[in-house]
Structure 1
Amino acid sequence: MKRFLNSLLLLIAFPVLADEAKVLQIFDQKCADCHSDGDEEPPLHGGINLTKLQGNEDGIKSILDRITRPDGTKGRMPKSKGNPGDASYLPPLSAEEIALVKAWAGGTAPAASTPATSAPTPAPADAPAATPAPAAEEKPAVAAAPPRRFIPVTEEVRRIADDVMKLSESAQPFARYLTLTNLANLRDASGQPVEDEKQMETYRAAISKLLNSLSHEGQIRVPTAVDEDKTIYRFDLRDYGWTQQEWEQHVVSGYPYALRGFDARRETEIADATHSASAWVRADWFTFAAGQPPLYNQLLRLPDNDRDLEKELGIDVVGNLQNKRAIRAGFRLSGVSQGNRMIERHELGRYPGAYWKSYDFSPLDLHGQHDLFRSPLGPVGAGLTPNKDREFAHDGGEIIWNLRNGLQAYYLSTAAGAKLDRAPTEIVQDKKRRDGAIINGISCMACHESGMKYTLDKPLEQFRDEVGVIALKAGLDRSEQRIVEDLYAPQEKLHEVVKQDEERFKKALEAATPGYDQPLDPVERLYKRFKADIRLETLAAEFGEEDPTFIEKLKDTRDADLESIAAQLEAGMEFPRAGFLDQFRTIAHALRYHQLDFTPIAYTEFTSGASKAGGNVGQVVLSDGGKLSISTDKPHYVKGDLMTVKLKCTEGVFVRLYHFSADKKLTQIFPNAGQSDNFIRGGKEIILPEPGAAFRFRMGSPFGTEIILAVASPVQFTDDGNLSFAQGEVFKSFPETDLRQAKKRGVKGLTVEVTTPTGKVVGERSAPTFSARAVFTVSDH
């Protein structure tokens, strides 16, 4: 073992021969969901920098320990419970997957092995645990790639201006640009780029895939890199069927990061040539904004109901059903729908392609017309049978269809066909998200990264209709049986059309992302990259700055709001992207950046309530859409003042409060010796200290900005020692100077029960944690 660990110190100098793309896919799809520890971005995910992870000896050892521990030989992942079929059950990594991770950890190529099936067979309970890979033999060091240079905003503007002026006058008004400069410029504490070249290639692929996934035209058009660093990409609005007015009205009007004044002459040249107030926008923001409603709907011009959509696409759904020109397949479990699901395929009417729609049923009402196996001849009103009892009544649906260029577009709807931006989680869920929400556009692109998806991720050979054969035995009359036989497709027909549609999409995807061979959806990765919290090390790049002392500029303003922002970042806290717009505007104004006017977009991602941080009132959104809020009675205190803290949560949670002083001392102030019960009932507001309590919060030196951090969990924290107090001990003091460490205290091993819709307990899963903070100042007078 010692030899193995010592070899890890040399890995960063060795070439990584294991298939990194597959390792990333394993982390993202098999590890990230459970091993999140309450973080927005889990420690292991598809966008992690593998090169940097290899330099982390403890991190590598932890990963290998987890994938080879005995739990994995009992037929499930270490943190999952139960047996196959249970909601809490997760199959273990296959032998090939374990070999891939071990080979990557050792910096070697994996040995050839039999390809794994999509549903690994559990190993016997008494199978021995795998052992860590032996130390890699010493090899010549490989020269490190030259460090990526920082690109100033002035150079970015110059490059765009030079490129625009090379275009013909007729093309200039339609030229637009997406930039990755801010991501290429990111540096860690040692000055090294945060984003390696493989991640940058993912982001470049995301630009092209997204643009073409929003296109109204019949050809795939790959945007053009205009600089040798490949951080600025030009595209023509006409290539995707967009108008100049749509760009200004939907994109520019909501773009919050348009800072000007770096090179006034060239900025004017670009504006005059393109006739646009902002001809260039950040690619990460555009991917986030256009990957979800409302911008996704606006750029694709999606109508308000599925009937109008079908009319635009030249599809007569009812007519096709009555004339047996559609095919169907139904399932008890689909992996997305919580109840029954039926999928239905139609040919597009105006150009070659497919139109798939699903009929989804809530698991809370699976009887009568809500039972697809009993009533297979809906939907209501389709006229497939005069027997109303045999018409299914679904609760919602999802639609996938081919664009003219072969890629796919998506639509969510109610049972009545009304457009939805976010699907009801009681009907369908995205199990990769903490809140389970399926958001139109981005959730669908991430799930269907390779085209059509088979039920429960089974291989195509196991993909078959489950409804027809059962419905034929459910007392249908002969005419109803013939309709079921005509519509519910035999396995060979289903496979034929799915393969056809899959090949159409893959051909278009390869054209849109030439050379990109990673299994993870690039759009989802860039979307998540933008959504990540703002940290101390990423703040400067938001403003195009390189200066590692950018944070000092905030302090030098002597502005209370900026000093508060600086104090929080230096304390190790992050600003949620959902609420960062206020801080961005505050910083831009105080540092005299010229920010163009904009109207904030109501992103579907954040419509359940944005997390707030920065003042003496803070809040965070909980997994069910509720909120935890914390506030202090004043934003500023003078020496000797007493402080009270208000807490309120829409659901019952266990809470602990940490005080982070101006001299970076960390103290747990609740629960404490005077009030050890830290459970807050849902909907109840509590004030600390309560009248007559045996403790007080009195303000004193040192003076400056201070923080109260609230951490909440649906179950009690696991560090029992910090929930009890010795004689004479009122509060708990800790040596940390970083609030990120406080957020994780007592979280390891935190689990909650998993229940079925009927209330049956079937296992356990990692419990989510949430944090919010209140910020205030203290002075001596």
Structure 2
Amino acid sequence: MFYRNPLRIAGLMVAGALLTVGLAASTSQVFAQTSNQNTAAPAPAEAPAADSKPANPAVAAPAPAASAEPASQAAPAAPVAAPEPEPAAASPAPEPKPEPAAAPPASAPAAAPAAPAAAVPPPAAPAPAAPAPAAAPAPEPAPAPVPTPAAAPAPAAPAPAPAPAAAAGIPADIKVPSDPAAKAAFDVLDKHCSRCHQNGMLNREKPAKNFGNILHLDEISADPHLVQAGNPEGSKLFQQVLNKEMPYDVNYEFDTTKPEVTTADIEALRTWIKATGDQEAAACTGRKFVTSEDIVAAISADLQKQDDHRVRGMRYFTLTNLYNACASDEAMNVYRQGLVKLINGLGRRSDVVKLATVDEAKTIVGINLEDLGWQESDWNTVLANYPYAAKPDVRAYDFIAQQTNTELPYVRGDWFAFTASQPPLYDTLLQLPNDFPGLTDKLGVPMADNINKFIAQRAGFQKSGVSQNNRLIERHPISTGYFWTSYDFAGSKGKQSLFLHPLGPEQDGIANGFHHDGGESIFSLPNGFQGYYLNKSNGERLDKGPTQIVRDPSRRDLSVTNGISCMGCHDQGMRKAKDEVRKAVTADRSFSKDIRDTVASLYPDNAKMDAIIEDDFQRFNSAMKRAGLDPTLKLAGVEMTNALFKRYEDDLSLRRAAAEYGYPPEEFKQRFIDAGPEAIALMRRLEQGIVPRDQFEQLFLKFVEGATEDRVLDTSKLEGAQAVAPPIDKPASGGSFDLQLTSDKSAYNIGDKAVLQVISTRDCNLFVVNVDKMGTGTIIFPNKFQTENAVRAGERVVLGGSGSKFAFKLRDPGQEKVVAVCRVGNATRSIAGMKVDPVANSFASIPNFEQGLTRQIVVEANEDRQEASGLDNDSRKQAQFAKIAQATGNKVAAGAPDAAKQSVASTAIVIPVR
């Protein structure tokens, strides 16, 4: 059963006893203050039931379980060698399916492909200027046992030089580590992850989930969204492998041809992350922190440089928070250009808005509303949706607000890239009509007339990069340049086959017309940039394309999202396409001569279509260059606006959160400590790990006036502002399976009692385990006082809190490690291969806990693999979507395989004791 009360105190009155658990004790000790009563002594660990997973051999004969004795006789706690703490991190959304090695047809107006690699022949021509994907590397042998950092070779024996990158199939720009632990982790990531996440080594066209630098260990170890220094179980990179989220093709697509993740692989990753230090701050070395005063001063100075008639229309976008949070110079260059690319993609004038920064650090981009063709009401619409609207406590702020005639003349550029690149704000700012006929009327496209007069030009093909079935693309000339639209199908049979019904769509006077299900359009804006539109076959505008028709592997739900998905695929404009319909139909005498002649006129030969697409490609590239942008620029293989979009949706570390409030980390911490219990709770989560973006966004303004001198602005009712719903794509963590684990203090003294709190975003079965320096785990939840470990989403589970009759006393200097695991779908009473009976085995010990947890996951993964091997293609597709639904918090279809119904979230914190 699930408890209904929102606050559960784990620790109940039992015969007036106070139970004390010594955290990280060398032999997990439980201490009870009782009168000769052995209340907490657990029975030996119960063997798994006959239908459970095989027991961990190390658990079969556990070390002596917690023994009951007076607290005064407690054995001293031992430190755990692991640095920084970490709370719950949202389990990122599942990744999309691997793409075929070659690029999709160039003019397909949507996002990247998601078709089974083995089933898709490479298209005839790659996308212009796209990097040529390398063949997937051959599976590496399982890594050799990895020495711990303490066992590193003596300095006198220099490490051998790494083998030449070319010999291992590694691109030259990737540094192969010489450190044994890092090299072992590198090999694991190469074997299991590089095919989807390393630019230059992909078996798809672009990096999955917009993450393309998996083998740059120095970069990912400095990204707290991926790696928490010294804390494997708190690191999202490790969590995803341990919890069977990654590799995506193995765990979501049930691809049994890919190598299995072994226990040695997981241990290699664990060893490497344990040895990492805090590298996030290193990127800020020598960088001056940019304050709110600096921002206002730079904007004020820029306004004074403007002609009088332009001052009122000046507006600004800041990337200062990213700079202060140690984003690299390379990344900042991409972010600036990605922001300006998006701004131009929302323009209504014929002139481009050029990239221009107004501050020394190049973190503030200035624009003029008139140059975009925007009104003040358009800016007010942006502000009405802005979740960070605050007036800084800076005297010069009133000057810039008065001069620009707005309460807030600047917004954060990363938020804008995330919100304005997708519906509904994208549709609103671009003034997109509600239906397809409205769009063609606005752009002046006489669709039927152009088709009848053979002005329209078509290409059709069986497979495309984004569509799951055959697809037709069609070009029309418009006054601003070009209008491309697609006809997409839910199947490829009967009237949905272009090779049987090449003419259409179905309308009066057209024989043999096809019947399509929807379409995607790309059109030239007056400034030469591109606009995007999705619609159903009846013309109704869509925010997202149905995944059974089109997919975007960079989105966590695989759906093509209008705007941002299209920008990611068409990063440099139109993409080449090779028509297959013309040759097939004109050579087939079963079609009438009229049909064959009509097809020959509507479907030009490939040479002519290539020239048309090249002209349109150059038109867009020319516009980007006029705006001061590099059309080929990417960040680890990710298109520039998508890179900024992703940076915003990533989870936040303390340093990143502090930068968003405008303070260095230490000042931020002190301000939040002074701001009261709720602010302290958020600060503690950030201090011990990362916080999902959607949660942080909701909390931001709540603490502005308590922790800063800024004042919250109400921008919801500004003149002319349009009410717009929240973005349809939540940040990647939104809706995912997330565990929050925090302690009540940042650090403790010997003898202090710790209070732990756990919150899950899903209904699940929770385990909390303390792990000592020898690797022995003590199950501290569930226990004999609270046997039910089923928890509801949002329920707070408090361990050792005030009024509880058991407590967790810290007895040894060093590091305390606590791991939380919550399971959905199976093994809801098992942890690390041990079936838990909280009554008979309360506070039981699990020797070699980390290795046992790894073995349990590997055993379950192998069972899933065996189940998947018996599925046909349709069943695998059903299982894939069922597991995506499970991972994103949606309903799982009945009859889905067991492997698709399972989900695990885990996290860990490491607490200093002095």
After superposition, where does 1:270-419 map in structure 2 within 5 Å? 270-348=400-478, 350-351=479-480, 353-363=481-491, 366-381=492-507, 383=508, 385=510, 387=511, 390-419=512-541
User: Which residue of structure 2 aligns with residue 524 of structure 1?
Assistant: 642
Question: How far did 1:401 drift?
Answer: 1.1
Q: CA deviation at 1:404?
A: 1.9
1:547–1:535 Cα change, 3 Å: closer
Q: CA deviation at 1:354?
A: 1.4
Check whether the contact 1:88–1:763 (CA below 8 A) recurs between aligned residues.
no
Shift of 1:700: 3.9
Residue 698 of structure 2 corresponds to which residue in structure 1? Answer: 582
TM-superposition CA deviations, 1:319-368 (whole Å, max 9, x none): 111111111111221121112211111111x23x11111111114xx433
Which moves more between the two structures, 481-490 or 171-180?
A: 481-490
- Kindly indicate whether the alpha-carbon contact (under 8 Å) linking 2:250 and 2:258 is maintained by their aligned counterparts in 1: no
Q: Which amino acid aligns with 2:832?
A: G
Give the corresponding residue for 1:259: 390
- Structure 2 CA distance for partners of 1:570 and 1:343, relative to 1, 3 Å: same
Residues in 1 aligned to 2:872 and 2:600: alpha-carbon distance in whole angstroms? 33
Q: Distance in 2 between matches of 1:598 and 1:678?
A: 44
Query: Equivalents in 2 of 1:745, 1:550: separation in Å?
Result: 41
Instruction: Please name the residue that 1:176 is paired with.
Output: 315
Unaligned stretches of 5+ in structure 1? Answer: 60-76, 93-143, 187-192, 456-462, 613-619, 623-627, 632-638, 650-654, 690-696, 776-781
* Kept after mapping to 2: 8 A contact 1:646/1:686: yes
How many residues align? The count is 622
Q: SS where residue 655 of structure 2 aligns?
A: helix
- Confirm or deny: 8 A CA contact 2:388 2:701 kept in the other structure: no
How many Å separate the matches in 2 of 1:145 and 1:253? Answer: 33
Per-residue CA deviation, residues 403-439 of structure 1 (Å, 9 max, x unaligned), is 1222211101111111111111121110233310211
Letter in 2 for 1:243: Q
d(CA) in 1 for partners of 2:299, 2:213 = 31
1:357 alignment partner, SS class: strand
**Which letter does structure 2 place at the counterpart of 1:511?**
R
The one-letter amino acid of 1:453's match is R
1:436 matched to which residue of 2? 558
The alpha-carbon deviation at position 474 of structure 1 amounts to 8.0
Instruction: Tell me which residue corresponds to 2:61.
Output: none
Alpha-carbon contact 2:649-2:732 (below 8 Å) kept: no
> Between Structure 1 and Structure 2, whose CA radius of gyration is higher?
2
Does residue 657 (structure 1) correspond to residue 780 (structure 2)? The answer is no
Distance 1:181-1:733 versus aligned 2 partners, 3 A rule: farther
- Determine the structure 1 residue equivalent to 2:107: none
CA distance in 1, matches of 2:790, 2:575: 43
Does the aligned pair in 1 maintain the 2:674–2:707 contact within 8 Å? no
1:604 aligned residue (709, 727, 752): 727
CA contact (8 A) 1:374 1:474 kept: no
Match of 2:398 in 1: 268
Which residue in 1 is equivalent to 2:707? 591
**Residues 556-603 of structure 1, C-alpha deviations (whole Å, 9 max, x = no match):** 3332x223223333332x322223233212222432531111449633
Question: Aligned to 2:874, what secondary structure does the other structure show?
Answer: coil
The answer (yes or no) to whether the contact 1:151–1:181 under 8 Å persists in 2 is yes
User: What aligned pairs does 1:523-602 form with structure 2 within 5 A after superposition?
Assistant: 523-559=641-677, 561-572=678-689, 574-592=690-708, 593-599=710-716, 602=725
8 Å Cα contact 2:651-2:733 kept in structure 1: no
Deviation readout 1:452-509 (Å, 9 max, x if unpaired): 2346xxxxxxx23346614863843332232222212221122111111112122222
3-state SS of 2:397 partner: helix
Give a deviation string over 1:510-538, Cα, whole Å, max 9, x none.
33344575343111101111111122231
Q: Select the residue among 11, 17, 31 that pairs with 2:197.
A: 31
Q: Please list, as runs of the form range in 1=range in 2, the aligned pairs for 1:393-542 lying within 5 A after superposition.
A: 393-454=515-576, 463-466=578-581, 469-470=584-585, 473=588, 475-514=590-629, 517-519=632-634, 520-542=638-660
Bigger mean CA deviation after superposition, 173-182 or 562-571: 562-571
Distance 1:550 1:565 in 2: 11
Q: Which residue of the partner structure matches residue 186 of structure 2?
A: none
Alpha-carbon distance in structure 1 between the residues aligned to 2:794 and 2:675 = 36
Structure 1 residues 703, 669: closer, same or farther in 2, change over 3 A?
A: closer
CA deviation vs aligned residue, 1:675-700 (integer Å, no higher than 9, x gap): 999999xxx999999xxxxxxx9764
1:724 is aligned to 2:839 = no
Amino acid at match of 2:298: R
For residues 97-134 of structure 1, what are the alpha-carbon distances to aligned partners after superposition, in whole Å with 9 as ceiling and x for unaligned? xxxxxxxxxxxxxxxxxxxxxxxxxxxxxxxxxxxxxx
Task: Tell me the residue number matched to 1:156.
Answer: 295
For the residue of structure 2 that corresponds to 1:211, the secondary structure is helix
Aligned partner letter, 2:766: L
Alignment-derived partner of residue 116 in structure 1: none
Query: Which SS does the other structure have where 1:548 is aligned?
Result: helix
Cα 1:275–1:44 shift into 2, 3 Å: closer
The 1-side partners of 2:513 and 2:656 are apart by 55
AA of the residue aligned to 1:360: D
Matches of 1:234 and 1:735 in 2, distance apart?
60
Equivalent residue, structure 2, for 1:113: none
Closer/same/farther in 2, CA of residues 434 and 54 from structure 1, 3 Å limit: closer
1:185 Cα deviation from its structure 2 partner? 0.6
**CA separation of 1:413/1:55 partners in 2, compared to 1, >3 Å: closer, same or farther?**
closer
Equivalent positions of 1:96-111 (< 5 A) are none
* Structure-2 separation of matches of 1:453 and 1:543: 41
* Residues 667 and 733 in structure 1, CA contact (< 8 A), matched pair in contact too: yes
Any gaps of 5 or more consecutive residues in structure 2? 1-143, 145-152, 176-189, 228-245, 260-282, 717-722, 742-752, 798-802, 811-816, 888-902, 909-914
Q: Secondary structure of the residue that 1:444 maps to in structure 2?
A: helix
C-alpha distance in structure 2 between counterparts of 1:648 and 1:355, whole Å: 45
SS in structure 2 of the partner of residue 509 of structure 1 = helix
Q: Quick check: 1:571–1:737 contact (8 Å CA) kept in 2?
A: no
**Which letter maps to 2:645?**
Y
Change (3 A) 1:647 1:226: closer
User: Could you give the per-residue CA deviations for residues 587-638 of structure 1, whole angstroms, max 9, x where no partner exists?
Assistant: 224325311114496333446x9967xxxxxxx347xxxxx9999xxxxxxx
- The two structures, once aligned, show a CA RMSD in angstroms of 5.3
Change (3 A) 1:526 1:237: same
Aligned residue number for residue 701 of structure 1: 807
TM-score using structure 1 length? 0.67
- Contact 1:288/1:526, CA 8 A, preserved across alignment: yes
CA contact (8 A) 2:470 2:488 kept: yes
Any idea what SS the aligned residue of 2:407 has? Answer: coil
Q: Name the CA distance, whole Å, in 1 between partners of 2:567 and 2:740.
A: 36
- Which segment is superposed worse, 752-761 or 150-159? 752-761
**Aligned partners of 1:220 and 1:405 also within 8 Å:** yes
Return the alpha-carbon distance in structure 1 between the equivalents of residues 300 and 450 of structure 2: 53
Identity, in percent, stands at 29
> What residue number does 1:45 align with?
212
Q: Answer yes or no: is the 8 Å Cα contact 2:659–2:665 preserved in 1.
A: no
For the residues of structure 1 that align with 2:539 and 2:611, how far apart are their CA atoms? 28
* 1:342 alignment partner AA: L
Shift of 1:89: 9.6
